[in-house]
Chain A
């Protein structure tokens, strides 16, 4: 088949036909892809999409910058007496907030994907069924990591000094990413149930906002009215912030980290099967 335009019905030369015939004949079937290989391929798909449209990382990185600057300089003096002290307090929380907001995107992306024909092809392949989902959410970790890294770098520039050192900061980011991976499954389920990407986006943010603001990200819970404090104390995001702060400050408590990982495992155990079920039934 030639790429130069021709007229008439004869569309390919004998050699072009021969190439086609050979290509058709040589499509032998390799052994099936392992679950891991399939997930890896789908994660690669997600990364390629970011590579082709890097602008889509903008909202994952600019919003956290705005939040860091806004909270530090607007509320720092009022809440902590000085912007420097407040930055030290708030930065781990802003990392958590910024990373968690990116998880809504996994649901939005899946919802968009479902309207496209390519999903039919994926679903007709002999694959470990959750691979397209697990791979995509794992690929989205790039976005989550970018958001977290931007906040840490900006914090360091503004004067944030983590006593936990490099290891503490990396450990904190890792814990946040693990929790984000788990939380993303809530939104992928939402992404399959709701009718449009913007509905997923709105519902996702509406659910996340109260959980994020009613946590210990911005203020110490002891200053809150009793009822509110009780809510803040059971909010998993509070647990995540406590663990993150501990790791960055160099006084991590193993129990805090274990609690966060347990909550992440619980979310994953509930929502991966739920997402897979809806994915299988879609169409």
Chain B
């Protein structure tokens, strides 16, 4: 029932209420062992609260969940023995050095002092932090802090790692480093529950994705299934002169399809998955004397996923829920 369990996480009907807000409102999850499972949703959707319940930091108000077959409430200690958490706030001690953080965790996990030191040095080397090992973490850059945070999560390699928005606020290079570490960990056998706001991140890393909104799972599937249900992506165009936007809208609508005016008065976008079609449309804008400042053809954003799945943008109503979650 423990080692043989094919599911790393099985949650059914998890509920957590903070005051009037139902932060998590009946979440079901089935995460297979040995994969990255993405939980995709905007701020305040209930991602962090779900992770905190699964990591035994919060008690669910209703529903139940098992991690490798252990009940998260009744067998919390057994759960703690197989998971690690890299939280949204960096889960490292800013007032200690990087090396001290890792030694402290090694000792807390049961290593003697020499073994804890050795493990800390090994991780500092592997994560490219040896040069900053003696610096206080509060002086680390965002990327360094995140790497230390992940290193701290694998002082003892966990069977299940919770990663809560690991790349939010990171520059692209640091983000790629984090992704690389995640891939290596999965290939070494760790299961990862990844919470993210970025469809691209889930697409890059996860084999399965649950889209969560207002405390509920509203869609589930592989990244390909999800994208197929949403549409291939969008062509975003930014004009030099906002006055030309109505004209540009007519051209794009005729060439591609329904065109959406963005908040930026010089920008507009239209669903489009085909690069040739997009290039043709851009050329057509030029022939009509419409000056284009820039354009991009991208995967659907979280906003577009949400628009497709719920008929409303992702961040609507998120503000209040987020504050609730912080207060709690």
Which A residues are within 8 Å of any B CB, using their own CB? Answer: 1-3, 5-7, 9, 11-12, 16-17, 19-33, 37-38, 40-42, 44-45, 48-49, 52-53, 116-118, 120-127, 131, 283
Residue B80 lies at the interface, judged by CB distance under 8 Å to chain A: yes
Q: What residues of chain B lie closer than 8 Å to A2, measured between beta carbons?
A: 128
Judged by a CB distance under 8 angstroms, whether B185 is at the interface is yes
A-B contact pairs, 17 of them (CB 8 A): A2-B128, A9-B172, A11-B173, A17-B180, A19-B125, A23-B123, A25-B188, A30-B111, A31-B110, A32-B81, A38-B107, A40-B107, A41-B107, A52-B136, A121-B152, A125-B105, A126-B81
Whether the Cβ atoms of A33 and B110 lie closer than 8 Å is: yes
Q: Inside 8 A of A19's CB, which chain B residues have their CB?
A: 125-126
Most chain A Cβ neighbours within 10 Å, of B56, B88, B128, B187 = B128
Contacts of B52 in A (CB 8 A): 120, 283
- The CA of A11 and the CA of B147, in the complex, are separated in Å by 13
Complex Cα–Cα for A127 and B110 (A): 9
Contacts of A7 in B (CB 8 A): 173
A6 and B184 contact, CB distance less than 8 A: no
Chain A positions within 8 Å of B125 at CB level: 19, 23
B55 sits at the interface (CB 8 A) = yes
A228 to B97, CA, bound (A): 51
Confirm or deny: B109 has a beta carbon within 8 angstroms of a beta carbon on chain A.
Answer: yes
Chain B residues with CB below 8 A from A283, complex form: 52, 57-58, 328
* Residues of A contacting B328 in the complex (Cβ-Cβ under 8 angstroms): 283
Q: Verify B104–A44 contact, CB threshold 8 A.
A: yes
Given contacts A30-B156, A120-B91, 6 further A-B contacts (CB under 8 A): A11-B180, A23-B154, A44-B107, A117-B89, A117-B92, A121-B91
Asked if B84 is an interface residue, CB under 8 A from chain A, the answer is: yes
Q: How many residues of B contact A (CB 8 A)?
A: 60
**B80–A23 contact, CB under 8 A?**
no
B128 touches A9 (CB 8 A): no
- 3 closest Cβ contacts across the A-B interface? A117-B89, A27-B157, A1-B128
The verdict on A20 contacting B126 (CB below 8 Å), with A48-B96, A117-B91, A283-B57 known, is yes
Contact A20 B127 (CB under 8 A): yes
* Known contacts A20-B126, A25-B157, A27-B155, A124 near B93 by CB under 8 Å: no
Query: B83 interface residue, CB < 8 Å from A?
Result: yes
Q: For residue A7, which residue of chain B has the nearest CB?
A: B173
The CA of A121 and the CA of B55, in the complex, are separated in Å by 10
Query: Least Cβ distance of B157 to chain A in Å?
Result: 3
B119 sits at the interface (CB 8 A): yes
Instruction: Give the residue of A21, A40, A44, A125 whose beta carbon is less than 8 angstroms from that of B109.
Output: A125
Q: A24-B185, A28-B157, A283-B58 are in contact. Are A127 and B93 (CB under 8 A)?
A: no
Known A19-B126, A28-B156, A41-B104; contact A9-B176, beta-carbon cutoff 8 A: yes
The contact string, 1 if C-beta is below 8 Å from chain A, for chain B 58-72, is 100000000000000
Contact B180 A37 (CB under 8 A): no
A12 and chain B: residue at smallest CB distance: B180
Provide the bound-state CA to CA distance between A121 and B154, in Å. Answer: 12
| CB closest chain-B residue, reference A53 | B95
Q: Which residues of A contact B97 (CB under 8 A)?
A: 52
Q: Which residue of B lies closest to A26 (CB)?
A: B122
Q: A211: shortest Cβ distance to chain B, in Å?
A: 31
**Contacts of B127 on A, CB cut-off 8 Å?**
1, 20, 23
Known: A23-B122, A24-B185. A52 touches B96 (CB 8 A): yes
- Whether the Cβ atoms of B185 and A29 lie closer than 8 Å is no
Q: Are B131 and A3 in contact (CB under 8 A)?
A: yes
Q: Is the CB of B157 within 8 A of A124?
A: no
